Amino acid sequence: MKVCFPVKEDKGLDSVMYNHFGTAPIFIVCDTETDEVVSVENGHLDPVTGKHPEGGCNPVKALNGAEVDVVVVAGIGKGAATKLGAAGIKVYQGNSLLTIGENFKKIKEGGLLLFDLNNSCTHHHH
């Protein structure tokens, strides 16, 4: 299973989760079978502003071609979470106080819950 985490800077498994999926500059993708860790730049951010179009978040485009099964987030908009689900990608609630490595261990052990759409971000102030 390939698991994706939004981050501000690539420090591998020592990275910390970024607070909002759509505006994360980088994604760390971890493979539960091989333990391979790769980073992918967000393919949907405006190169000048560093933001995605308001209300126009395209989470699959943001993944920049990376094939993932699961996204673990600290925060995500309802539209993005719904679009990921429609693409067959499950969204889990991560713990923003833990490193990517610690969250990765938790998801491998079944310790993270599916994201509750009632807790989604409803506005942009990032």
Nearest alpha carbon to residue 1 among 33, 44, 28, 41: 33
pTM of the model: 0.87
* Range 2-119 classified under CATH 3.30.420.130: yes
Per-block average pLDDT, block size 10, for the chain (126 residues)? 96 95 91 96 70 64 84 91 93 96 97 83 48
Instruction: Give how far the C-alpha of residue 33 lies from the chain's centroid of Cα atoms, to the nearest Å.
Output: 19
Distance, CA of 52 to CA of 57 (rounded, Å): 6
DSSP state of 114: E
Q: Locate the domains of the chain by residue range.
A: 2-119
> How many CB atoms are closer than 10 A to CB 109?
8
Supply 89's token pair: 């990608």
Supply 126's token pair: 């990032």
